[in-house]
Amino acid sequence: MARRIIEDIRPNTRKKIIPSMEEVVLPSKINIPKEYYREKFEEIKEEKIEEIKKEIKEKVEEKVKEKTEKKEGVVEKYFKKKALERQRLQRTPQVKIEPPILHKTTLVIFIIMIITGGIYWGGEIFQKADVTITSKHQLITYNNKQFVALQDSNSDSINFEIMITSDKKLKNVTLTDSKNVSTKAEGSIILYNEFNANPQKLSAGTFLSDNNGKAYKTDKIVTIPGYKTDKNKKIIPGQISVDITAFLPGDAYNGSPTDFHINSFKDTTKYLKIYGKLKTPLAGGAIGLVYTLNDSDRSEINTMAELTYKEDFLNQVKALVPPGYILYPNALSFTYKIGDNISSKTPNTDIEIDETLSVVLLKEKSLVDNIIKISLPNIKSDETKEIKISDLNNLAFNFTNKDQLITKDISSVSFALSGDINAIWNPDVELLKTKLTGINKNDVSSIFRQDHGIASALVKIFPPWQKYVPDDISKINVVVN
C-alpha cells in the first residue's frame, strides 16, 4: 500500500522540478517512518536530475551538430567554386594584375591635398574685392540768399549770358467798334547807298515807288552814308532806316513790297545804286467803314499775352538753352507790341502781336563753384572737385531789382536764391582703386579716412581667407551710393 503511493508521485515540471519535503502530504492513517521517505525522496531527486542533464546535453549536441554541418557545407561549396574558377582561368590567357601603387589611406590624403591646393590656387585666380562706399551728403538751405553775376567769363564770380529772342503771333479777334475812315498805309524801309563814298541826303517827303508802281513818301529828312570797301575792294553799301507813308489812302497799299526806288533819280545812274528794301510791312491803309480795336479788345489781348503767350514762348526758348547753362523762370523779361492803328473791313480779323523774350542764362559750373565757396567755406580746393550739386532747379530765382531791364549791354545782375539743395561728394574711384591695391584689409579704413567725401565704406574680399586686396586694379570693384 505504501509503495504504490510513492510510485504514483510525479514531479510537477511546469512549476518546480524538485518539490521540497514540506510539500509532500502523507495519509494520516499510514504510520511510516520519516527517514524512509527521506531516503526515497533523495533517490528520486538524483534520478530526475540525471535525466534532465542527459536530456539537455543531447539537445545541445544536436544543435552543435546542425550548425557544424551547415558551416561545413558552406565552406565546401565556397572551395568548390574557387576550384572551378581556377580551372577556367588556367584554360584562358591570364591578365597580369599589378599590385596597387598607393595604399587606400595614402590615396585619400593625396586627393584631399590636390583638392585643397586647387581651391587655394583657384582662389588666387578668381580673387576680387568689392568696395561699397556711402558718399557724404550735406543739405544747403537758402532763404533769399543774395548773389551777383558778372558777364565776364574770366572772373571767379557767377557768369551769365544774355539771350534775346523775338517772335510774331496772330490773335484772332472780333472787333465791335466801327467808323468811317480815310487812312494811309505806313511802314519802314532801309535805304542803301552803293553810288559813291559820299553821303546822300534826302529831304522829308521824298517820293519812292515800289516794284508794283505804288508811290510812297519819306516821313523825315535822312542822310544815307557813303559806301565802304573791304580788303578785297568789295563794296559795302551805306545804309539807314526811314519810315514811309503811302501816297493815297486805302488798303491797296497794305502789304510787303520788296524793292523801292527814288523817283527823282529815275533815268540817272543813281536810280539803281541808291535804293530801298522793306524793313516792316505796310499796314493801316483804309477807306470807308472799318472796324477798329477798342480798349476792351486790347485788354483781352494783353491778358492773353501775359498768361498764355509768355509761357508758350518761354518753353520754346528753353529748348534753345545751350549745354552748361541754366535758365530760371523768373530770370527774364517779356515784352510784346500791338499795333496802334488796327482796322479791318470785317469784324473778324487777325491781329499781329510782336513778342520779345530776354533771358539771363547762368553758367552752371560757376554757380556751383560759388555756392560751394560761400556755403561750404571749410572745404579744401582738392575736395571741391568731388562735390556735385545736381538739383539747382529746386532753387527759386528773383532779381534784386524788380524792374531789372535785360539788354545786351548789361554787365552785372544782382539776384536772390531760395530753396533747398544737396551737396553730394563723389570720390575719385580710380584714385581710390590705386591706393587700395595690394594693402592688408585691416589697413583699408586708413585709406578711406583720407577722403573726406566718404561717409562709410565696406570691403569684401574673395576668397574669404585672403588678407590682402588684389594687386590687379581690374579685380577691385567700387560702388558709390
pLDDT digit string, tens, across residues 12-31: 544 444 444 444 454 544 55
pLDDT tens readout for residues 48-92:
778 877 877 887 787 777 776 666 666 667 667 767 766 665 555
Q: Looking at residues 395-408, what average pLDDT do you find?
A: 90
Residue 168 neighbours by CB under 8 Å, 6+ apart? 352, 353, 354, 355
Residues 6+ apart with CB under 8 A from 246: 184, 185, 186, 214, 215, 216, 253, 282, 285
pLDDT higher than threshold 60 for residue 99:
no
pLDDT at 73: 66
- Taking residues 332-336, report their average pLDDT: 88
Residue 316 is predicted with a pLDDT of 86
Give tens-digit pLDDT for 166-199.
888 888 888 888 888 888 999 999 999 999 999 9
- pLDDT digits 0-9 by tens, 249-286: 988 999 999 899 999 999 999 999 999 999 999 988 88
pLDDT given for residue 158 in this prediction: 92
pLDDT at residue 24, rounded to an integer: 46
Please name each of the domains of the chain with its CATH number: 2-73 (no CATH), 127-137+426-480 (no CATH), 141-167+295-420 (no CATH), 178-289 (2.40.30)
Predicted pLDDT at 439: 83
Sole residue written with cell 518761354 = 314
Closest CA to 40 of 13, 8, 16: 8
Residue 13: the pLDDT is 47
Distance of CA 34 to the CA centre of its chain: 120
Question: CA nearest 141: which of 421, 425, 369, 423?
Answer: 421
| Whole-prediction pTM | 0.54
Torsions phi, psi for 313 (to 5 deg): -65, -40
What mean pLDDT comes out for the span 134-156?
A: 87
CA atoms within 13 A on the CB side of 60: 6
Q: Average per-residue pLDDT in the chain?
A: 81
- Is-contact 325 161, C-beta < 8 A? yes
Instruction: Quick: pLDDT tens for 340-354.
Output: 667 788 888 888 888
Contacts 24+ apart (CB under 8 A), 438-446: 438/468, 438/469, 438/470, 438/471, 439/468, 439/469, 440/467, 440/468, 440/469, 441/466, 441/467, 441/468, 441/469, 442/467, 444/469
Q: Is the pLDDT of residue 424 over 80?
A: yes
Maximum average pLDDT range among 96-110, 321-335, 430-444? 321-335
pLDDT at 110 over 90: no
Q: What is the pLDDT of residue 206?
A: 95
Going from the C-alpha of 192 to that of each of 269, 270, 432, the distances in angstroms are 14, 11, 67
